[in-house]
Structure 1
Amino acid sequence: MARKIPSRSGTAVSNEDRLARSRQFATSTTKYAAFDQSTAEAVATEGPAVKSVVKNEPRKGEKAAAAETARINSGVSTQPVADDACSTRTEGQSRTYYVRIGAEDQARIEALAERSGLDPDYVRRALIKAVRARMQNLRDTATWHEVASAARPRLAESKGTGAPFMKSMIRLDAAHMAALQTSIDDPLNVYGVTLLLSAFGKALLHSEIEELAQKISGIEARAARPDPA
Protein backbone atom coordinates (compact mmCIF):
# COMPACT_ATOMS: atom_id res chain seq x y z
CA MET A 1 0.00 0.00 0.00
CA ALA A 2 1.51 3.34 -0.99
CA ARG A 3 2.20 5.95 1.85
CA LYS A 4 0.92 9.55 1.53
CA ILE A 5 3.51 12.24 1.85
CA PRO A 6 1.99 15.17 3.74
CA SER A 7 2.25 18.49 2.01
CA ARG A 8 4.04 21.41 3.83
CA SER A 9 1.86 24.22 4.96
CA GLY A 10 2.68 27.85 4.23
CA THR A 11 4.48 29.45 1.41
CA ALA A 12 7.62 27.75 0.13
CA VAL A 13 10.89 29.78 0.25
CA SER A 14 13.21 29.34 -2.62
CA ASN A 15 16.98 29.27 -2.41
CA GLU A 16 17.21 32.60 -4.22
CA ASP A 17 15.16 34.27 -1.50
CA ARG A 18 17.32 32.79 1.21
CA LEU A 19 20.46 34.04 -0.51
CA ALA A 20 19.03 37.59 -0.93
CA ARG A 21 18.06 37.78 2.74
CA SER A 22 21.48 36.54 3.80
CA ARG A 23 23.19 39.23 1.74
CA GLN A 24 20.85 41.93 3.12
CA PHE A 25 21.58 40.86 6.71
CA ALA A 26 25.32 40.86 6.07
CA THR A 27 25.13 44.39 4.63
CA SER A 28 23.17 45.68 7.65
CA THR A 29 25.59 44.06 10.07
CA THR A 30 28.57 45.65 8.34
CA LYS A 31 26.88 49.10 8.37
CA TYR A 32 25.99 49.04 12.06
CA ALA A 33 29.41 47.69 12.97
CA ALA A 34 31.04 50.62 11.16
CA PHE A 35 28.68 53.05 12.96
CA ASP A 36 29.51 51.57 16.38
CA GLN A 37 33.23 51.79 15.63
CA SER A 38 33.03 55.49 14.65
CA THR A 39 30.97 56.27 17.75
CA ALA A 40 33.49 54.51 20.00
CA GLU A 41 36.36 56.43 18.38
CA ALA A 42 34.53 59.74 18.90
CA VAL A 43 33.93 58.96 22.56
CA ALA A 44 37.52 57.88 22.98
CA THR A 45 38.87 61.13 21.49
CA GLU A 46 36.31 63.69 22.72
CA GLY A 47 35.47 62.24 26.12
CA PRO A 48 38.75 63.13 27.91
CA ALA A 49 38.71 66.62 26.45
CA VAL A 50 35.22 67.25 27.78
CA LYS A 51 36.15 65.86 31.18
CA SER A 52 39.29 67.96 31.19
CA VAL A 53 37.35 71.16 30.56
CA VAL A 54 34.84 70.39 33.29
CA LYS A 55 37.60 69.51 35.73
CA ASN A 56 39.74 72.59 35.10
CA GLU A 57 36.96 75.18 34.90
CA PRO A 58 35.88 76.40 38.36
CA ARG A 59 32.24 76.42 39.20
CA LYS A 60 30.25 79.62 39.36
CA GLY A 61 30.22 79.60 43.17
CA GLU A 62 33.95 78.90 43.29
CA LYS A 63 34.60 81.89 41.00
CA ALA A 64 32.64 84.18 43.31
CA ALA A 65 34.42 82.85 46.39
CA ALA A 66 37.81 83.28 44.79
CA ALA A 67 36.98 86.84 43.75
CA GLU A 68 35.77 87.72 47.26
CA THR A 69 38.91 86.22 48.83
CA ALA A 70 41.12 88.21 46.48
CA ARG A 71 39.21 91.42 47.29
CA ILE A 72 39.56 90.90 51.06
CA ASN A 73 43.22 89.95 50.83
CA SER A 74 43.96 93.04 48.76
CA GLY A 75 42.72 95.26 51.60
CA VAL A 76 44.64 93.53 54.39
CA SER A 77 47.56 95.56 55.61
CA THR A 78 50.92 93.85 55.77
CA GLN A 79 52.10 96.15 58.56
CA PRO A 80 52.48 94.52 61.99
CA VAL A 81 49.67 95.27 64.44
CA ALA A 82 50.77 97.46 67.32
CA ASP A 83 50.63 95.89 70.74
CA ASP A 84 47.61 97.13 72.71
CA ALA A 85 49.56 97.27 75.93
CA CYS A 86 52.29 99.44 74.37
CA SER A 87 49.64 101.76 72.92
CA THR A 88 47.98 102.10 76.32
CA ARG A 89 51.29 102.85 78.01
CA THR A 90 52.11 105.54 75.45
CA GLU A 91 48.73 107.28 75.38
CA GLY A 92 47.91 106.73 79.05
CA GLN A 93 44.66 105.68 80.62
CA SER A 94 41.97 107.35 82.68
CA ARG A 95 42.24 106.99 86.43
CA THR A 96 39.35 107.60 88.80
CA TYR A 97 39.87 109.21 92.19
CA TYR A 98 37.50 110.10 95.01
CA VAL A 99 37.63 113.00 97.42
CA ARG A 100 35.89 112.94 100.81
CA ILE A 101 35.40 115.97 102.97
CA GLY A 102 35.67 116.18 106.74
CA ALA A 103 33.05 117.71 109.00
CA GLU A 104 35.21 120.76 109.72
CA ASP A 105 35.73 121.63 106.06
CA GLN A 106 32.06 121.02 105.30
CA ALA A 107 31.07 123.47 108.04
CA ARG A 108 33.47 126.06 106.62
CA ILE A 109 31.93 125.74 103.15
CA GLU A 110 28.45 126.32 104.52
CA ALA A 111 29.64 129.31 106.53
CA LEU A 112 31.41 130.82 103.53
CA ALA A 113 28.30 130.38 101.39
CA GLU A 114 26.21 132.19 103.99
CA ARG A 115 28.68 135.04 104.31
CA SER A 116 28.88 135.53 100.54
CA GLY A 117 25.17 135.09 100.00
CA LEU A 118 25.79 132.23 97.55
CA ASP A 119 24.06 128.86 97.37
CA PRO A 120 26.11 126.13 99.14
CA ASP A 121 25.76 123.80 96.09
CA TYR A 122 27.11 126.56 93.84
CA VAL A 123 30.14 126.98 96.13
CA ARG A 124 30.71 123.22 96.14
CA ARG A 125 30.67 123.08 92.32
CA ALA A 126 33.16 125.93 92.15
CA LEU A 127 35.49 124.05 94.51
CA ILE A 128 35.22 120.83 92.47
CA LYS A 129 36.10 122.72 89.29
CA ALA A 130 39.11 124.31 90.98
CA VAL A 131 40.39 120.96 92.35
CA ARG A 132 40.12 119.28 88.94
CA ALA A 133 42.00 122.12 87.24
CA ARG A 134 44.80 122.03 89.80
CA MET A 135 45.12 118.23 89.56
CA GLN A 136 45.58 118.47 85.80
CA ASN A 137 48.11 121.26 86.23
CA LEU A 138 50.13 119.12 88.66
CA ARG A 139 50.10 116.31 86.10
CA ASP A 140 51.10 118.52 83.15
CA THR A 141 53.89 120.31 85.00
CA ALA A 142 55.04 117.28 87.05
CA THR A 143 54.89 119.43 90.22
CA TRP A 144 53.25 116.86 92.51
CA HIS A 145 56.06 117.47 95.00
CA GLU A 146 54.71 120.96 95.73
CA VAL A 147 51.61 119.41 97.33
CA ALA A 148 53.19 116.16 98.55
CA SER A 149 53.79 117.38 102.12
CA ALA A 150 50.08 118.19 102.50
CA ALA A 151 48.93 115.01 100.74
CA ARG A 152 51.14 112.55 102.64
CA PRO A 153 49.15 112.67 105.94
CA ARG A 154 45.98 111.91 103.99
CA LEU A 155 47.36 108.49 103.05
CA ALA A 156 47.00 107.37 106.67
CA GLU A 157 43.28 108.10 106.67
CA SER A 158 40.87 105.25 106.06
CA LYS A 159 39.10 105.24 102.71
CA GLY A 160 35.74 106.00 104.30
CA THR A 161 36.91 109.03 106.29
CA GLY A 162 34.58 111.98 105.71
CA ALA A 163 31.54 112.45 103.52
CA PRO A 164 31.67 111.95 99.72
CA PHE A 165 32.45 115.27 98.05
CA MET A 166 33.57 114.60 94.49
CA LYS A 167 34.50 111.90 92.00
CA SER A 168 36.67 112.68 89.01
CA MET A 169 38.96 111.17 86.38
CA ILE A 170 42.39 112.09 85.10
CA ARG A 171 44.46 110.57 82.29
CA LEU A 172 47.92 109.37 83.27
CA ASP A 173 50.65 107.67 81.29
CA ALA A 174 53.66 105.80 82.68
CA ALA A 175 55.72 108.98 83.09
CA HIS A 176 52.89 110.74 84.94
CA MET A 177 52.47 107.85 87.38
CA ALA A 178 56.22 107.62 87.98
CA ALA A 179 56.37 111.34 88.84
CA LEU A 180 53.35 110.94 91.14
CA GLN A 181 54.88 108.04 93.08
CA THR A 182 58.29 109.68 93.29
CA SER A 183 56.83 112.88 94.73
CA ILE A 184 55.19 111.03 97.61
CA ASP A 185 58.36 109.06 98.46
CA ASP A 186 56.94 105.59 97.77
CA PRO A 187 59.93 103.55 96.50
CA LEU A 188 58.26 100.21 97.31
CA ASN A 189 55.01 101.08 95.51
CA VAL A 190 52.93 100.52 98.62
CA TYR A 191 50.21 102.99 97.63
CA GLY A 192 48.00 102.51 94.62
CA VAL A 193 47.52 105.25 92.04
CA THR A 194 43.88 105.79 93.04
CA LEU A 195 44.82 106.25 96.70
CA LEU A 196 47.57 108.71 95.81
CA LEU A 197 45.27 110.76 93.60
CA SER A 198 42.61 110.86 96.30
CA ALA A 199 45.17 112.05 98.88
CA PHE A 200 46.28 114.86 96.57
CA GLY A 201 42.65 115.71 95.84
CA LYS A 202 41.88 116.04 99.58
CA ALA A 203 44.90 118.27 100.10
CA LEU A 204 43.92 120.49 97.17
CA LEU A 205 40.32 120.73 98.38
CA HIS A 206 41.46 121.96 101.78
CA SER A 207 43.76 124.46 100.05
CA GLU A 208 40.94 125.73 97.83
CA ILE A 209 38.66 126.24 100.83
CA GLU A 210 41.37 128.37 102.44
CA GLU A 211 41.73 130.46 99.26
CA LEU A 212 37.96 130.87 99.02
CA ALA A 213 37.84 132.09 102.62
CA GLN A 214 40.54 134.67 101.83
CA LYS A 215 38.63 135.88 98.76
CA ILE A 216 35.41 136.32 100.72
CA SER A 217 37.26 138.10 103.51
CA GLY A 218 38.75 140.47 100.96
CA ILE A 219 35.32 141.17 99.47
CA GLU A 220 33.90 141.86 102.93
CA ALA A 221 36.80 144.16 103.77
CA ARG A 222 36.33 146.20 100.60
CA ALA A 223 32.61 146.45 101.25
CA ALA A 224 33.22 147.74 104.80
CA ARG A 225 35.47 150.58 103.65
CA PRO A 226 33.89 154.01 103.70
CA ASP A 227 33.11 155.69 100.44
CA PRO A 228 36.06 158.01 99.61
CA ALA A 229 33.62 160.48 98.15
Structure 2
Amino acid sequence: MTRARPNAHAVPRRDKGLLAGVMGWSLIVAPAALLLGGRGGPWGAASVGCGFVSLFAAPLVPSGRPYGSGGERFREHLRVAPVFTAAVLLVAGPWLVPWAVHDTWGKPTRALVVEASSPSGGGAAAETDAWRIGYRLADAATEQDLGRLLYGLPERTPVGAVVEVSVTPGGWVPPISAGLLDDGGARPYVTTLTAMASAHLLTCATVWLAWPRKDSREWVTALAVCRVRGGWSDSRPWR
Protein backbone atom coordinates (compact mmCIF):
# COMPACT_ATOMS: atom_id res chain seq x y z
CA MET A 1 0.00 0.00 0.00
CA THR A 2 1.33 3.43 -0.93
CA ARG A 3 1.70 5.58 2.14
CA ALA A 4 1.13 9.29 2.23
CA ARG A 5 4.15 11.47 2.54
CA PRO A 6 4.61 15.20 3.07
CA ASN A 7 4.36 17.50 0.07
CA ALA A 8 7.82 17.98 -1.38
CA HIS A 9 7.12 21.66 -1.86
CA ALA A 10 5.74 22.22 1.65
CA VAL A 11 7.27 24.76 3.96
CA PRO A 12 9.89 23.15 6.26
CA ARG A 13 10.23 23.80 9.95
CA ARG A 14 12.98 26.32 9.28
CA ASP A 15 10.46 28.67 7.65
CA LYS A 16 8.31 28.66 10.78
CA GLY A 17 11.34 29.57 12.85
CA LEU A 18 12.18 32.34 10.39
CA LEU A 19 8.69 33.81 10.73
CA ALA A 20 8.97 33.82 14.52
CA GLY A 21 12.48 35.26 14.37
CA VAL A 22 11.63 38.01 11.88
CA MET A 23 8.54 39.10 13.80
CA GLY A 24 10.22 38.85 17.20
CA TRP A 25 13.15 40.98 16.03
CA SER A 26 10.97 43.47 14.16
CA LEU A 27 8.18 43.93 16.73
CA ILE A 28 9.93 43.35 20.08
CA VAL A 29 13.70 43.75 19.92
CA ALA A 30 13.84 46.62 17.41
CA PRO A 31 11.22 48.84 19.15
CA ALA A 32 12.88 48.32 22.54
CA ALA A 33 16.32 49.19 21.12
CA LEU A 34 14.77 52.18 19.33
CA LEU A 35 13.35 53.66 22.54
CA LEU A 36 16.54 53.05 24.48
CA GLY A 37 18.62 54.52 21.65
CA GLY A 38 16.83 57.83 22.12
CA ARG A 39 18.65 58.25 25.43
CA GLY A 40 21.85 58.89 23.52
CA GLY A 41 25.39 58.01 24.53
CA PRO A 42 26.07 54.26 24.71
CA TRP A 43 22.37 53.54 24.26
CA GLY A 44 22.38 55.39 20.96
CA ALA A 45 25.49 53.52 19.85
CA ALA A 46 23.81 50.22 20.78
CA SER A 47 20.76 51.15 18.70
CA VAL A 48 22.90 51.93 15.67
CA GLY A 49 24.82 48.68 16.22
CA CYS A 50 21.56 46.71 16.28
CA GLY A 51 20.60 48.45 13.05
CA PHE A 52 23.73 47.21 11.31
CA VAL A 53 23.18 43.73 12.74
CA SER A 54 19.68 43.81 11.28
CA LEU A 55 21.02 44.99 7.93
CA PHE A 56 23.71 42.31 7.66
CA ALA A 57 21.35 39.57 8.90
CA ALA A 58 18.78 40.28 6.17
CA PRO A 59 20.42 37.98 3.57
CA LEU A 60 19.98 35.07 6.02
CA VAL A 61 16.19 35.40 6.03
CA PRO A 62 15.28 33.86 2.62
CA SER A 63 15.12 30.10 2.84
CA GLY A 64 16.41 29.47 -0.67
CA ARG A 65 13.60 27.03 -1.53
CA PRO A 66 12.78 26.69 -5.23
CA TYR A 67 9.58 28.47 -6.20
CA GLY A 68 7.52 27.84 -9.27
CA SER A 69 5.76 31.18 -9.79
CA GLY A 70 6.79 34.81 -9.78
CA GLY A 71 4.38 35.47 -6.91
CA GLU A 72 6.14 32.89 -4.74
CA ARG A 73 9.52 34.41 -5.56
CA PHE A 74 8.14 37.81 -4.57
CA ARG A 75 6.98 36.41 -1.23
CA GLU A 76 10.43 34.93 -0.69
CA HIS A 77 12.07 38.34 -1.07
CA LEU A 78 9.28 40.19 0.74
CA ARG A 79 10.04 38.42 4.00
CA VAL A 80 13.34 40.34 4.18
CA ALA A 81 11.54 43.71 4.21
CA PRO A 82 10.83 43.97 7.99
CA VAL A 83 14.50 43.35 8.74
CA PHE A 84 15.49 46.22 6.47
CA THR A 85 12.86 48.65 7.81
CA ALA A 86 13.92 47.75 11.35
CA ALA A 87 17.52 48.56 10.41
CA VAL A 88 16.52 52.00 9.12
CA LEU A 89 14.56 52.76 12.31
CA LEU A 90 17.37 51.61 14.59
CA VAL A 91 19.99 53.71 12.82
CA ALA A 92 17.82 56.85 12.65
CA GLY A 93 16.29 56.40 16.11
CA PRO A 94 18.96 58.12 18.24
CA TRP A 95 18.40 61.33 16.23
CA LEU A 96 14.60 61.20 15.88
CA VAL A 97 13.32 59.71 19.14
CA PRO A 98 14.46 62.60 21.42
CA TRP A 99 12.44 65.08 19.37
CA ALA A 100 9.32 62.93 19.57
CA VAL A 101 9.70 62.40 23.33
CA HIS A 102 10.20 66.10 24.02
CA ASP A 103 7.35 67.10 21.72
CA THR A 104 5.01 64.71 23.58
CA TRP A 105 6.16 64.77 27.21
CA GLY A 106 8.66 67.63 27.43
CA LYS A 107 8.21 70.13 30.25
CA PRO A 108 9.68 73.66 30.13
CA THR A 109 12.23 74.12 32.92
CA ARG A 110 14.65 76.84 33.95
CA ALA A 111 18.12 75.35 34.11
CA LEU A 112 21.47 76.59 35.39
CA VAL A 113 24.56 76.10 33.24
CA VAL A 114 27.14 74.40 35.46
CA GLU A 115 29.68 73.43 32.81
CA ALA A 116 30.60 74.45 29.26
CA SER A 117 33.23 72.65 27.23
CA SER A 118 34.40 72.16 23.66
CA PRO A 119 33.65 68.89 21.78
CA SER A 120 37.25 67.76 22.24
CA GLY A 121 36.90 68.05 26.01
CA GLY A 122 39.50 70.77 26.21
CA GLY A 123 37.64 72.85 28.74
CA ALA A 124 37.22 76.44 27.51
CA ALA A 125 34.73 76.84 24.68
CA ALA A 126 35.45 80.42 23.64
CA GLU A 127 36.72 79.48 20.17
CA THR A 128 34.11 76.82 19.48
CA ASP A 129 30.98 77.30 17.36
CA ALA A 130 27.97 77.93 19.59
CA TRP A 131 26.06 74.77 18.62
CA ARG A 132 29.09 72.57 19.22
CA ILE A 133 29.64 73.61 22.83
CA GLY A 134 28.68 70.97 25.37
CA TYR A 135 26.69 72.14 28.38
CA ARG A 136 25.91 70.40 31.62
CA LEU A 137 22.80 71.67 33.36
CA ALA A 138 21.17 71.63 36.76
CA ASP A 139 17.64 72.59 37.75
CA ALA A 140 17.71 76.28 38.66
CA ALA A 141 15.29 75.76 41.57
CA THR A 142 16.38 72.44 43.06
CA GLU A 143 19.96 72.18 41.71
CA GLN A 144 19.18 68.63 40.57
CA ASP A 145 21.56 67.46 37.87
CA LEU A 146 19.82 67.40 34.48
CA GLY A 147 22.73 65.95 32.55
CA ARG A 148 24.24 67.21 29.33
CA LEU A 149 22.22 69.38 26.97
CA LEU A 150 21.36 67.81 23.63
CA TYR A 151 22.16 69.83 20.49
CA GLY A 152 23.64 72.79 22.38
CA LEU A 153 22.40 76.40 22.54
CA PRO A 154 22.03 78.95 19.72
CA GLU A 155 24.41 81.38 21.46
CA ARG A 156 27.49 81.00 23.62
CA THR A 157 26.30 80.88 27.21
CA PRO A 158 28.61 81.28 30.20
CA VAL A 159 28.65 79.08 33.27
CA GLY A 160 26.17 80.36 35.82
CA ALA A 161 23.63 81.57 33.26
CA VAL A 162 20.01 80.43 33.46
CA VAL A 163 18.44 79.06 30.28
CA GLU A 164 15.04 77.66 29.32
CA VAL A 165 15.10 73.99 28.37
CA SER A 166 12.72 71.09 27.90
CA VAL A 167 13.08 68.09 30.20
CA THR A 168 11.30 64.74 30.13
CA PRO A 169 9.90 62.66 33.03
CA GLY A 170 12.69 60.78 34.73
CA GLY A 171 15.24 62.32 32.39
CA TRP A 172 14.54 59.60 29.83
CA VAL A 173 16.26 61.61 27.11
CA PRO A 174 18.72 64.50 27.56
CA PRO A 175 17.28 68.03 27.84
CA ILE A 176 16.85 70.18 24.73
CA SER A 177 16.87 73.95 24.41
CA ALA A 178 13.27 75.16 24.56
CA GLY A 179 13.98 77.45 21.62
CA LEU A 180 14.44 74.45 19.34
CA LEU A 181 10.89 73.32 20.09
CA ASP A 182 9.25 76.70 19.48
CA ASP A 183 6.94 77.10 16.48
CA GLY A 184 6.74 73.36 15.89
CA GLY A 185 10.47 72.88 15.60
CA ALA A 186 10.14 69.17 16.43
CA ARG A 187 7.34 68.47 13.97
CA PRO A 188 9.49 67.50 10.96
CA TYR A 189 11.35 64.95 13.08
CA VAL A 190 8.17 63.61 14.66
CA THR A 191 6.51 63.30 11.25
CA THR A 192 9.53 61.47 9.85
CA LEU A 193 9.64 59.04 12.77
CA THR A 194 5.88 58.43 12.57
CA ALA A 195 6.06 57.74 8.84
CA MET A 196 9.00 55.36 9.26
CA ALA A 197 7.36 53.50 12.16
CA SER A 198 4.05 53.23 10.25
CA ALA A 199 5.84 51.88 7.18
CA HIS A 200 7.65 49.35 9.37
CA LEU A 201 4.42 48.12 10.99
CA LEU A 202 2.67 47.94 7.63
CA THR A 203 5.57 45.93 6.23
CA CYS A 204 5.43 43.52 9.16
CA ALA A 205 1.68 43.06 8.69
CA THR A 206 2.10 42.46 4.96
CA VAL A 207 4.81 39.85 5.49
CA TRP A 208 2.77 38.16 8.22
CA LEU A 209 -0.23 37.85 5.88
CA ALA A 210 1.88 36.84 2.87
CA TRP A 211 3.85 34.12 4.66
CA PRO A 212 2.99 30.72 3.10
CA ARG A 213 0.70 29.35 5.82
CA LYS A 214 -1.30 27.23 3.37
CA ASP A 215 1.76 25.17 2.53
CA SER A 216 2.57 24.97 6.22
CA ARG A 217 -0.86 23.56 7.00
CA GLU A 218 -0.50 21.01 4.18
CA TRP A 219 2.86 19.98 5.59
CA VAL A 220 1.46 19.52 9.10
CA THR A 221 -1.57 17.60 7.78
CA ALA A 222 0.61 15.27 5.72
CA LEU A 223 2.91 14.70 8.67
CA ALA A 224 -0.04 13.80 10.88
CA VAL A 225 -1.36 11.33 8.28
CA CYS A 226 2.04 9.70 7.96
CA ARG A 227 2.35 9.25 11.70
CA VAL A 228 -1.12 7.71 11.95
CA ARG A 229 -0.32 5.23 9.19
CA GLY A 230 2.99 4.27 10.71
CA GLY A 231 5.51 6.22 8.67
CA TRP A 232 6.46 6.69 5.02
CA SER A 233 8.78 5.02 2.60
CA ASP A 234 10.50 8.07 1.07
CA SER A 235 13.11 10.25 2.71
CA ARG A 236 11.76 12.85 5.11
CA PRO A 237 11.80 16.40 3.71
CA TRP A 238 13.88 17.90 6.47
CA ARG A 239 16.75 15.50 5.99
TM-score of the two chains, using structure 2 as the length reference: 0.22
Q: Which has the higher helix share?
A: 1
TM-score of the aligned structures, taking structure 1 as reference length:
0.23
Which structure has the larger Rg over C-alpha atoms?
1
